[in-house]
């Protein structure tokens, strides 16, 4: 992307970049779908068309998206109304005490809410049914519009440029929220934050400092997520006599040599392609060995002993031939496919694999656990993320928009959606982790600690819009992926590859005035 264009913050491409950066931020978690890389301004979309029926259900696909494939944009969404929903399996939750105080809204007020598709059509439908119930209760006309994920940045950029953004917007990473909030495009939601963050035992600590800019909160997180280590317990039992995941990266490397049986099975399914997941997988290892991308002041600091340790660790695994030889050509679905086809024993990935196993391979599911990333020289950490709701400045129904978010944020309603999404979204409220849905699923037993100790890409610096944009540029340019590929593919010395990565980050950060 031309950087002088990125400096023009009001341009359509800049908004596209921001949305892309937000999605890229998710890949710290090893997300299955690649982040969109903005290369040109979006083309105007076609005029909205009326949907079949004026109910609140989303324009959901006819089949659940496969977790091993990136979503493909097919046609522009139809935001004027949402088509009729299939009959819900459960009615939207009734208001609890936390939602007892009803807002006074202008009758017949109109609201448009845009959303990324969740990970199942059922999740989209549940959010839409809740929006419909809100509309009926408060006499509001609500249009809930989930979109193919790759078209959201283009649609939103065009709407912002035309000064016709939706009232409510779902955003998929704090970087997106901070970008729009930093440009004064989002409504102050501090009053709503103060209410919702105290419900359900309070928000997990990992989200508390992510949505505030210019002394105001501009986003309300409705879920948390992380990327655990998926482990084949049956293979661990054969190698160690115990059905438990490795506790340290050193242990995982040693066990991997016992498990690996080429060419059908390579133990460590580490993504090493020139794709976003590689940066996500590597950052988990870098953190655990004591490194980071930036220092506490938000300046480039990838060059460190901790990062060097992580690079050398991967280099040794590669030399030991415990990583699939084709992993350097994997896309973001490569590790999913490898685990689901029983070609690897360990992968770092969000629970999309769990959802796939539930539906397609119960035997493999019973031999799988999702645990914290094994500890390195510094400890055990994992990336954490959160999707959220925001309200755009210019909304003609700000009170209604805030009331809709407040309605969605009732803990029981959140839990309804989590269950429809099949575990891909984890609670943002602490008390919900004790719901039977979670306690009855041993695969999620490590999640509360993982979420509580989750890290953002900006660690140890506090998230800041300009720095997060720079980090998004680092990700778009595959700086981390190029670093590790230089070592395992080109046989470059780890020290040289790390030095090159530091210089690349410094050059990128300079364009954003960070030195």
Q: Is 229 helix (H, G, I), strand (E, B) or coil?
A: strand
For the chain, how many structural domains are there in total? 2
Q: Determine the pLDDT at residue 48.
A: 36
Predicted local distance difference test score (pLDDT) of residue 4: 35
Query: In the predicted model, is pLDDT for residue 379 greater than 80?
Result: yes
Q: Is residue 469 part of a domain?
A: no
Of 453, 469, 496, which marks where a domain is finished?
453
Whether 503 maps to a domain, the answer reads yes
pLDDT bin (cut points 50, 70, 90) of residue 101 is: low
Name 231's bridge partners.
Answer: 346, 369
pTM as predicted? 0.78
User: Per-residue DSSP letters for 269-306?
Assistant: ----SSSHHHHHHHHHHHHHTT--SB-TTS-B---SHH
Taking the C-alpha atoms of residue 401 and residue 144, their distance in angstroms, rounded to an integer, is 12
Q: Is residue 462 a part of any domain in this protein?
A: no
Q: Which residue is associated with the tokens 């939750």?
A: 93
Same domain, yes or no: 200 and 302: no
Is 6 a member of any domain? no
Bridge partners (DSSP) listed for residue 294:
300
pLDDT at 54 over 70: no
Q: Is the pLDDT of residue 98 over 80?
A: no
Residue entry with tokens 């060419």: 263
471 located within any domain: no
Residue length, the chain? Answer: 515
243 & 356 share domain:
yes
| Residue 27 confidence class, pLDDT cut points 50, 70, 90 | very low
Whether omega for the bond prior to residue 489 falls within 30 degrees of 0, making it cis, is: no
Distance CA 180, CA 458 (A): 18
pLDDT tens-digit readout, 168-197:
999 998 989 998 998 999 999 999 999 999
Q: Are residues 170 and 273 in the same domain?
A: no
In this structure, the answer to whether residues 116 and 213 fall within a common structural domain is yes
In a domain, 92, yes or no: no
Q: What is the pLDDT of residue 423?
A: 84
Q: Are residues 132 and 144 in the same domain?
A: yes
Residue 53 belongs to some domain of the structure:
no
Determine the pLDDT at residue 52.
35
Are 484 and 268 in contact by the 8 Å Cβ rule? The answer is no
**242 three-state secondary structure:** coil
Sort strands 229-232 and 368-371 into parallel, antiparallel or unpaired.
Answer: antiparallel
CB 290 within 8 Å of CB 369: no
Lowest-confidence pick of 50-54, 260-264, 409-413: 50-54
For 511, the token pair is 């364009």
369, containing H or E segment: strand 368-371
User: In CATH, what number is assigned to the domain containing residue 311?
Assistant: 3.40.190.10
CA-to-CA separations, 148 to 116, 145, 212, 461, 486, in angstroms, rounded:
7, 10, 28, 33, 35
- Identify the three-state secondary structure at position 130: helix
At residue 3, the pLDDT reads 35
502: Cβ–Cβ under 8 A, 6 or more apart, which residues? Answer: 300, 302, 303
206, 405, 420, 98: CA torsion to nearest 10:
80
**Position 394 in a domain:** yes
Instruction: Show the domain range for 492.
Output: 229-381+478-511
Cis peptide before 109 (omega within 30 of 0): no
Q: Cis before residue 57, ω within 30 degrees of 0?
A: no
For residue 107, CA distances in Å to 96, 104, 135, 277, 509 come to 23, 9, 10, 47, 49
Chain-centre distance of CA 112, in angstroms?
23
Task: Give the model's pLDDT for residue 81.
Answer: 40
Q: Which two tokens stand for residue 495?
A: 């020290």
Beta strands (DSSP E) in 125-260 are 140-147, 168-171, 212-213, 216-217, 220-221, 225-226, 229-232
Q: Which secondary-structure segment (H or E) carries 391?
A: strand 388-391
């Amino acid at each position: 992307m031309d950087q002088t264009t990125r400096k023009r913050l009001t341009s359509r491409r800049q908004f596209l970049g921001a949305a892309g950066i937000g999605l890229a931020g998710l890949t710290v978690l090893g997300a299955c779908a690649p982040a969109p890389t903005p290369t040109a301004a979006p083309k105007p979309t076609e005029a909205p068309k009326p949907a079949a029926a004026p109910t609140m259900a989303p324009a959901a696909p006819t089949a659940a998206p496969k977790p091993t494939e990136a979503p493909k944009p097919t046609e522009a969404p139809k935001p004027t109304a949402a088509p009729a929903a299939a009959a819900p399996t459960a009615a939207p939750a009734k208001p609890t005490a936390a939602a007892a105080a009803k807002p006074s809204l202008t009758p017949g007020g109109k609201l448009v809410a845009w959303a990324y598709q969740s990970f199942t059509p059922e999740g989209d439908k549940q959010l839409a049914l809740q929006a419909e119930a809100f509309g009926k209760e408060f006499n509001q006309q609500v249009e809930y519009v989930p979109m193919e994920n790759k078209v959201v940045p283009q649609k939103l950029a065009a709407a912002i440029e035309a000064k016709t953004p939706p009232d409510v917007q779902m955003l998929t990473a704090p970087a997106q929220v901070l970008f729009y909030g930093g440009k004064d495009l989002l409504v102050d939601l501090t009053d709503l934050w103060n209410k919702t963050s105290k419900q359900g035992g309070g928000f997990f600590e990992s989200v508390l400092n992510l949505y505030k800019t210019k002394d105001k909160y501009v986003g309300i997180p409705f879920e948390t997520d992380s990327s655990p280590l998926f482990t084949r317990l049956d293979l661990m039992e054969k190698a160690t006599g115990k059905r438990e995941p490795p506790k340290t990266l050193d242990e995982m490397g040693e066990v991997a040599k016992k498990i690996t049986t080429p060419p059908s099975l390579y133990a460590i399914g580490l993504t090493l392609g020139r794709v976003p997941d590689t940066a996500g997988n590597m950052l988990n290892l870098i953190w655990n060995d004591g490194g980071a991308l930036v220092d506490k002041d938000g300046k480039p600091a990838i060059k460190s002993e901790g990062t060097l340790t992580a690079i050398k660790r991967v280099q040794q695994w590669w030399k030991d031939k415990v990583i699939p030889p084709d992993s350097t050509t994997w896309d973001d679905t490569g590790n999913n496919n490898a685990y689901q086809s029983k070609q690897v024993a360990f992968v770092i990935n969000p629970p999309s694999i769990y959802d796939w196993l539930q539906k397609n391979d119960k035997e493999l599911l019973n031999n799988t656990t999702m645990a914290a990333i094994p500890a390195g020289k510094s400890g055990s950490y994992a990336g954490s993320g959160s999707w959220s709701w925001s309200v755009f400045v210019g909304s003609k129904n700000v009170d209604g928009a805030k009331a809709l978010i407040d309605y969605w944020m009732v803990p029981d309603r959140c839990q309804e959606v989590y269950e429809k999404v099949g575990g891909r979204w984890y609670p943002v409220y602490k008390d919900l982790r004790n719901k039977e849905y979670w306690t009855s699923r041993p695969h999620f037993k490590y999640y509360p600690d993982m979420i509580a100790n989750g890290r953002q890409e900006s660690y140890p610096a506090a998230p800041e819009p300009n720095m997060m944009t720079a980090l998004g540029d680092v990700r778009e340019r595959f700086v981390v992926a190029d670093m590790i590929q230089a070592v395992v593919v080109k046989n470059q010395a780890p020290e040289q590859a790390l030095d090159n990565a530091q210089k690349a980050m410094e050059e990128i950060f300079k364009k954003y005035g960070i030195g």
